[in-house]
Amino acid sequence: MKNMLLILFIIGIASSCNSNSTEDDQKTLTKEEQFIQLYTLEVVPLFDEYPDLNIPEEIQIDKKDLSVNAGAAFGYVEVSRGLVELNDKAIQVFVLAHELAHIATLKQVEAFNLKSELSSGSETNDYKKAEYLADLMAFYLISKNEPKVYDLLVQKLVYLEDLLGSGDFTHPSGSSRIESLMKYIKEMDKTSKETAFSNRFRTIWSMN
C-alpha cells in the first residue's frame, strides 16, 4: 500500500510539473509566436473539410499598421500589428478565418452545385457579396468546430461591427455584415448549423 501511494504521489508531481511546464512555455512565447501558433493550430484546421485547398503557411506582419486588419495572398497571409497584439482570441480567430474563407469560397460553391462565377446584383456588387460569404463561412466553421470561440464571438457582435467600419465600394458596412450574420444565427437556432449555412450562402450568392 505504501509503495502504491508513493507511485501515485510521484505521478501527481510529474503531472503537475508537465502542466506548469506547458503554462511556462506559453508565457515565454512572444505575441507574434502565439499568433502564429493560433493560426496554425486553431484556424487552419477549421478548413480541413475542403480538400486540396491551398492554405497559406506563412504569416507576414505589417508592424506599422496598428489597426485590426488582415489579407490573404498567394502563399501568405498579411496581418497588421494591431491584430497580432489584440488581446482577444475570438476576434483574432474570426479575422483569420474570414481571410481563409475567401480562398475556400469556390470549394463551397462546388459543394452546393452553384454556378461558378459570383455576379453583381443591382444593389450589391460581387466584392461585397464575397465579404458576406467569407463572414458567413468563418462563423459557420467556428460554430461547428470551435463552439467556445463562437459563443464569445456572439457576445462581441457590437464590438465586431465597430471593427468592421462604415464600409466602402468593396466592403459592406459593419452594420450590414452583422445583420447578415444575425440572419444565419437566428435560422441556426430554429433549424441546424448546416441548413442555416446552406440557406444563407445561397441567399447571399443570388442577392440583388
Give the pLDDT confidence of 90-108 residue by residue, as tens digits: 999 999 999 999 999 999 9
Provide the pLDDT for residue 145. 98
Measure the CA–CA gap between 179 and 41, rounded to whole angstroms: 30
Give the three-class secondary structure for 60. strand
Domain boundaries, the chain: 25-205
Measure the CA–CA gap between 32 and 40, rounded to whole angstroms: 12
Cβ atoms of 101 and 134 closer than 8 Å: yes
In this prediction, residues 173-202 reach a mean pLDDT of 97
Helix (H, G, I), strand (E, B) or coil at 71: strand
Least trusted range by pLDDT, from 6-15, 51-60, 111-120: 6-15
**Burial profile 27-60: b = 16 or more Cβ within 10 angstroms, e = fewer:** eeeeeeeebbebbeebbbebbeebeeeebbeebe
Report the chain's mean pLDDT, rounded to a whole number: 89
What secondary structure does DSSP assign to 158-195, as a single string?
HHHHHHH-S--SSS--HHHHHHHHHHHHHHHHHS-HHH
Q: Give residue 20's pLDDT.
A: 52
Strands 70-73 and 58-62: unpaired
Distances (CA, A) of 71 to 57, 76, 127: 13, 9, 14
With cut-offs at 50, 70 and 90, classify the pLDDT of residue 160: very high
CB 55 within 8 A of CB 65: no
Are the CB atoms for 100 and 73 separated by under 8 Å?
no
Return the bridge partners of 6, or none.
Answer: none
Per-residue pLDDT, averaged over 118-146, amounts to 93
Question: For residue 113, what is its C-alpha cell?
Answer: 452545385
Q: What is the pLDDT of residue 13?
A: 44
pLDDT of residue 73: 82
With pLDDT > 90 as the criterion, what percentage of the chain qualifies? 79
Measured distance CA(98)–CA(145) in Å, rounded = 15
In the prediction, which pLDDT does 15 show? 52
> CA-CA distance, 103 to 205, in Å (whole number)?
16
Residue 133 pLDDT > 50, yes or no?
yes
Chain segment 8-45, per-residue pLDDT in tens: 344 454 455 555 544 555 569 999 999 999 999 999 99
Give the pLDDT mean for 53-57: 93
Rounded CA-CA distance 122/102 in Å is 22
Q: Say if CB 165 and CB 174 are below 8 A apart.
A: yes
- The whole-number pLDDT of residue 8 equals 39
Quick one: pLDDT band at residue 6, thresholds 50, 70, 90? Answer: very low
Polymer length in residues for the chain: 208
